[in-house]
Structure 1
Amino acid sequence: MQVSKAFFKVALKRLPSIIPYFIIFVVVALVMTGNSKENADFSSQKLDLVVIDNDDTEASRELKKYLLKGNNEKTLRSDDDEYIQDMLYHEMIDSVITIDKGFSDKLTTGETEGCIEALTVPSTFTSQYSNSIIDRFVTSAEMYVSTGSDPAEACRKAAEMSDTTTNVELSTQKSPLGNGLAYYCQYYAYIIICIIINGLAPILMRFFSLDIRRRIDVSALPLYKKNAVIIGVTSAFVFAVWMAMMCIAQATYGGFFTERGMYCLLNSFVLTLVVTGIALVVSVMCKSIDGISGITNVISLGMSFLCGVFVPADLLGGGVLSAARFLPVYWYIKANNMICGLAGEVYDANGILRSIAVELLFAAALFTVFMVLSKKKMHDTE
């Protein structure tokens, strides 16, 4: 058929510029998915501390031992202020803690303020941490002194109390499909918009150029059939893109050959139809191929941030989600969250199908808008 031949002829010419988009965005999808770790590992960090004990009493020695426990003790070759500042600036040491003379006596009277000085780089974690452990220790020691303990015993008890540990177990959200596939499907919304609009809209704009329109008009096909053929060949194009991306996901993560996996396939396919409709409308309305990239960024990033692609839907405000309901990607993400158990959603087959049905309504509306706009476009003489 003349229309389909013309489309694929233009598409073949644009293919070299489409393939890099496909490769780049698929790599981005895999990288973004890889950054969504299934497990988070936390371990304590050792600080490089210099502790100067000018009091040299049993109490101050207990404090010094407490400060250095679990950290690395460092020494200074000079007490010159400029030298110390250089050591801190170049991160050769994390903190210089000085216990002033009279610390033990002041602990007895409760006048310990200012008798321990921590020199660190301001407004850093080390600064906050150093002051925190010192304040916690001194407060505990003063409490024991007030109950009748001598300074040395109070410092020992304070150190023992500070050594008390609690096992903390972090609970991470894990999808029944596996986090890799779940997040791949989530980021698919952003990726497919970028690929389809950047890849398809320039082809269609060239296809709607006056020269090619006149060649098509030579045929005896009525306009609605020409538009139907255009929709058909564009659907074949995006189906190939969708299949390629799903094959990559299956090869990388697996999981599509399950009930949830089939819903993922259906959901992503319907979204691809929606994006096809967006690309069709953009191709008719956009005046210049150079403007496609900017339009794509606005649509892809705007819907991704508003609808829960980049930020989990359960962290978005109620006002944002209310506005996002008028966008197709919102319903795609809602269905994906129910399928994969993300963002606090639970698996609900009826809810999934309702969300997919809303996506289909968006697709139908976009194709209808395209038919109306293309009718006007086909009759333009410029």
Structure 2
Amino acid sequence: MTVFKGYLKIIKQNAPIILLYVGIFFFITLMIQAATKQSMDGTYQAESMKIGFVDEDGGTLAMGLHEYLEKYHQVIPMENDKKVLQENLFYGNIQYIVKIPAGFEEKCLKQDEKLSVTKIPGSYTSFYIDQQINSFLNSAKTYDAAGYTVEETVKAVNGKEEPKVTMLDEGGNGGVTPGYNYYYRFIPYMMINVLCYVLGSILSSFHKADIRKRMQASAVSVQRQNLEALLAAFLFGLFLWGISIAGGFALHGSEFMKSGSMLYYMLNALIMLVVALAMSYLVGMLTNNINALNGIVNTLSLGMGFLCGVFVPMEMLGKGVRTVAQFLPVYWYEKSNDLLAEFGTVTGSIRVEIFQAFGIQLVFAVAILCVAMVVGRRQRLGS
């Protein structure tokens, strides 16, 4: 088991690199999940804002607008003091200012004069309040044109029931992408980096001309050497896969185990491991230079990461980019990962699509392995 021990010894020497990429993987995953959760918290629910309300009219319509906004926000009555208003807006005590002018009914209903508002520049929630104010005024104008009195108009506008929206859970995930899906999205980045760098450096070392000649002259047969090398690579790959799966259980254990797609995620990661092993074998055959190896590994991991939906969600990629990405194995990993995110229960045609993506990944692995064998054969003949 000389070759096997040699592999393990070199793997042990590369332990800092392995820990570095595993650490980067977990850090990126946790950061992305935290950022995604924060951005999603207010995506499909109304947000309550602090509105400074300056009423210089005191009429029924102004009070009706005050009552309307209070349904959704915290409305704070304030005096028309420019300095005080600016200070409160600057320090975040209020996020939006509405000024109701004297003669509000005449100016806004009859003369279509716009309200004076002040908001924080670049705040998307301000547009939400703009829309609500416009909705109130447009409804009031409609009732006024129909001959309603101001009191009847306010009562009619504020008495309208808000429409109720019922989300249909067709996919089984409640319309929400589960946290463990984000975790599994980044697994290809870690596997390609770690396996291609560590195993690539080992293979490139073993395939240097002098070392290869010494191994050919040894008492250990070539078949035995290859079997020991494959065993070491396979065990290291399984160890890395085990770390990935264990990390997923540590972060999303109960939620992940309750999902009906747990085995599909694990199988997808295992197939990606096979692809990464094939890529590492090819990378190890291509170069004997450690600097060149670093360049190749970074190009592969980052290139596929950006093109295939690891760092940028697939739906945000252009049609041309997605077309090119279909010729890369990570694309099909991410496609199956996205299908699992969309459908909590895998049945029928969805199962067929997922297994097709699995099969295409395996075809890529075989193709990469064949190319690596051709490269290795040419190197042996050339030496």
TM-score by length of 1: 0.78
The one-letter code of the counterpart of 1:154 is T
Partners of 1:46 and 1:261 lie apart in 2 by 37
Question: Does structure 2 conserve the Cα–Cα contact (< 8 Å) formed by 1:2 and 1:219?
Answer: no
For the residue of structure 1 that corresponds to 2:138, the secondary structure is: helix
Residues 267-314 of structure 1 show CA distances to partners (whole Å, capped at 9, x for unaligned) of 433321211111121123245424544433432333344334455656
The more displaced of 238-247 and 213-222 is 213-222
Q: For residue 21 of structure 1, what is the aligned residue in structure 2? A: 21
* 1:165 and 2:191 correspond: no
The more displaced of 263-272 and 85-94 is 263-272
Question: Does structure 2 conserve the Cα–Cα contact (< 8 Å) formed by 1:328 and 1:362?
Answer: yes
Cα distance change, pair 28–316 in 1 and its aligned pair in 2 (3 A): closer
Q: For residue 54 of structure 1, what is the aligned residue in structure 2? A: 56
* 1:195 and 2:194 correspond: yes
Question: Does structure 1 conserve the Cα–Cα contact (< 8 Å) formed by 2:69 and 2:75?
Answer: no
Partners of 1:159 and 1:258 lie apart in 2 by 43
Question: Does structure 2 conserve the Cα–Cα contact (< 8 Å) formed by 1:2 and 1:216?
Answer: no
Residues 98-142 of structure 1 show CA distances to partners (whole Å, capped at 9, x for unaligned) of 22222233456x21314x311222442354234322222222222
For the residue of structure 2 that corresponds to 1:253, the secondary structure is: helix
Cα distance change, pair 208–100 in 1 and its aligned pair in 2 (3 A): same
Structure possessing the higher radius of gyration over alpha carbons? 1
Cα distance change, pair 179–97 in 1 and its aligned pair in 2 (3 A): closer
Partners of 2:337 and 2:107 lie apart in 1 by 63
* 1:129 and 2:128 correspond: yes
Map 1:1-382 → 2, pairs under 5 A:
1-26=1-26, 28-29=28-29, 43-74=45-76, 76=78, 79-80=81-82, 82-106=83-107, 110-114=110-114, 116-161=115-160, 164-171=161-168, 173-174=171-172, 179=178, 182-209=181-208, 212-220=211-219, 226-227=225-226, 229-249=228-248, 253=253, 261-262=262-263, 264-286=265-287, 288-310=289-311, 313=314, 318-336=319-337, 342=343, 347-348=348-349, 351-377=353-379
Partners of 1:54 and 1:346 lie apart in 2 by 62
Partners of 1:65 and 1:258 lie apart in 2 by 45
- Shift of residue 93, structure 1, vs aligned partner: 1.7
Residues 18-40 of structure 1 show CA distances to partners (whole Å, capped at 9, x for unaligned) of 23433442564566568777x96
Question: Does structure 2 conserve the Cα–Cα contact (< 8 Å) formed by 1:190 and 1:300?
Answer: yes
For the residue of structure 2 that corresponds to 1:101, the secondary structure is: coil
Residues 300-357 of structure 1 show CA distances to partners (whole Å, capped at 9, x for unaligned) of 3333443344556566555444333322223334455566764998545555554433
For the residue of structure 2 that corresponds to 1:55, the secondary structure is: coil
- Shift of residue 146, structure 1, vs aligned partner: 1.6
Partners of 2:225 and 2:322 lie apart in 1 by 39
Residues 186-237 of structure 1 show CA distances to partners (whole Å, capped at 9, x for unaligned) of 4333332233223322333333445644542431556676455433432232
Partners of 2:97 and 2:359 lie apart in 1 by 64
Structure 1 unaligned blocks of 5 or more: none
The one-letter code of the counterpart of 2:97 is V
TM-score by length of 2: 0.78
Cα distance change, pair 378–240 in 1 and its aligned pair in 2 (3 A): farther
Question: Does structure 2 conserve the Cα–Cα contact (< 8 Å) formed by 1:194 and 1:297?
Answer: yes
Partners of 1:350 and 1:72 lie apart in 2 by 51
For the residue of structure 2 that corresponds to 1:84, the secondary structure is: helix
Question: Does structure 1 conserve the Cα–Cα contact (< 8 Å) formed by 2:51 and 2:97?
Answer: yes
Question: Does structure 2 conserve the Cα–Cα contact (< 8 Å) formed by 1:103 and 1:112?
Answer: no
Partners of 2:262 and 2:54 lie apart in 1 by 62
Aligned residue pairs total 374
Cα distance change, pair 347–130 in 1 and its aligned pair in 2 (3 A): same
Question: Does structure 2 conserve the Cα–Cα contact (< 8 Å) formed by 1:307 and 1:321?
Answer: yes
The one-letter code of the counterpart of 1:21 is Y
Question: Does structure 1 conserve the Cα–Cα contact (< 8 Å) formed by 2:25 and 2:186?
Answer: no
Cα distance change, pair 264–104 in 1 and its aligned pair in 2 (3 A): closer
Partners of 2:60 and 2:66 lie apart in 1 by 10
Partners of 1:359 and 1:128 lie apart in 2 by 45
Residues 146-174 of structure 1 show CA distances to partners (whole Å, capped at 9, x for unaligned) of 2222334323333333xx21222345654
Partners of 1:336 and 1:77 lie apart in 2 by 55
The more displaced of 51-60 and 204-213 is 204-213
The one-letter code of the counterpart of 2:140 is A
For the residue of structure 1 that corresponds to 2:327, the secondary structure is: coil
Q: Taking every aligned residue pair, what percent have the same amino acid on both sides?
A: 27
Question: Does structure 2 conserve the Cα–Cα contact (< 8 Å) formed by 1:46 and 1:70?
Answer: yes
The one-letter code of the counterpart of 2:205 is R
